[in-house]
Amino acid sequence: MAFSALFFSPKSSLPKMLPARPLTPKFRHFSLPLLRCSSTSPPAASFDLRGYWTSLIPQIESQLEAALPVRFPERIFEAMRYSVLAGGGKRAPPIMCIAACELVGGDRSAAFPTACALEMVHAASLVHDDLPCFDAAPLRRGRPSTHARFGVDMAVLAGDALFPLAYSHVVARTPQDLVPPATLLRALAEIARAVGSTGMAAGQFLDITGAAAAGEANVVAVLEKKFGEMAECSAACGGILGGAGEEETEGLRRYGRAVGVLYELVDDILMEEAGSNGKMRSNASVVVALGMDRAMEMLEELRAKAKRALQRFGDKYGDRVLPLYSFVDYAVERGFVVEAEGEGKAASAASATAAGAGDGNGDIGVDGNCGPSGE
């Protein structure tokens, strides 16, 4: 969720009932010559984000798999599993949630159920965003989108069902000895706020009604609502479950919002540099609306803003801030790619770069229009 350009390369086909996917990721490096930014981050440079990320993936995948068995009505559950498990997302929302929990001194076990629930919520938002009434995206993560694979009716039902499943997963699986009921309610309220009429739904509304065409302030508003909310919610939930007070939670919200928008902005820039590779854009594309020069300026502003939001955490918690701090630079640099064991062939540096920009924030926002190699 860098967010970095972590992604799982898709398989070429999908059986009707998804088997458990291999949980040991492989890593490969590539260079990204397209972006040259002035910001530096010596603290994050010494942190092994790759190792931290891969240490969490197996348990996240295992919990998601267990939460989505195929039962009656089978067709809906198959569509739900396809949306969450097929091709493997970067799992950025869960990683950010867990990192934020550990930052403020919480036990990661307290955050895992909510972290996995956030992945369900994220998947549901992407299923709906791909629908013909919104982006009409035929592909997601390099394979047919849920409505293309199962039909519009099943896609709507799958997305609708994933939202309440996420809430019930949080309630049923969160350890009561680690998370008091009042704290759990705060986390649930945070998720409800993020996906509701003043959160991602508002961002989707602003995007489809063309608000981004009305100037920079409106472009930023769309980006913050449509793409920043998921990351903001992930960081805030992690902090809440780790015991953060209101002031620290608000700091994590500012951080997450900046990183979510930053990741989408980098996608816009990479798509422009690569000629977009046939991929669709959000109406809120900064490059289209404001030009490349302003997009690059905003990139640096957002990177600095995200790091400033973590300054007080670094002063208080020391090295525990490094996972979140390192996400900021990886959002720009896309320094490594992950593929699940046995899934896909190694890509060239050029194709990895294109895949890194694949779907317009496909792991931390509502959008995520993708082309042939999109995430």
A 10 A CB-CB count for 35 gives 14
Q: How far apart (Å, rounded) are the C-alpha atoms in residues 231 and 92?
A: 8
Q: Are 26 and 342 in contact (CB under 8 A)?
A: no
| pLDDT of 338 | 53
Predicted model pTM: 0.81
Give the count of alpha carbons within 13 A of 44, CB side only: 22
Structure tokens at 12: 């070429």
Q: How far apart (Å, rounded) are the C-alpha atoms in residues 248 and 251?
A: 5
Q: How far apart (Å, rounded) are the C-alpha atoms in residues 97 and 175?
A: 16
| pLDDT of 232 | 98
| pLDDT of 286 | 86
Structure tokens at 149: 């694979």
Render each residue's pLDDT in the chain as its tens digit; 375 residues: 333 333 323 333 333 433 444 444 443 333 333 444 444 444 555 799 989 999 999 999 999 999 999 999 999 999 999 999 987 678 999 999 999 999 999 999 999 999 999 999 999 999 999 999 998 999 988 899 999 999 999 999 999 999 999 999 999 999 999 999 999 999 999 999 999 999 999 999 988 888 766 788 888 898 999 999 999 999 999 999 999 999 999 999 999 999 999 999 998 899 888 775 444 556 667 888 889 999 999 999 999 999 999 999 999 999 999 999 999 998 888 766 554 333 333 233 333 333 344 444 455 544 443 332 333
Closest CA to 16 of 70, 60, 88: 70
3-state secondary structure 218-278: HHHHHHHHHHHHHHHHHHHHHHHHCCCCHHHHHHHHHHHHHHHHHHHHHHHHHHHHCHHHH
Q: Are 4 and 357 in contact (CB under 8 A)?
A: no
Q: Are 373 and 351 in contact (CB under 8 A)?
A: yes
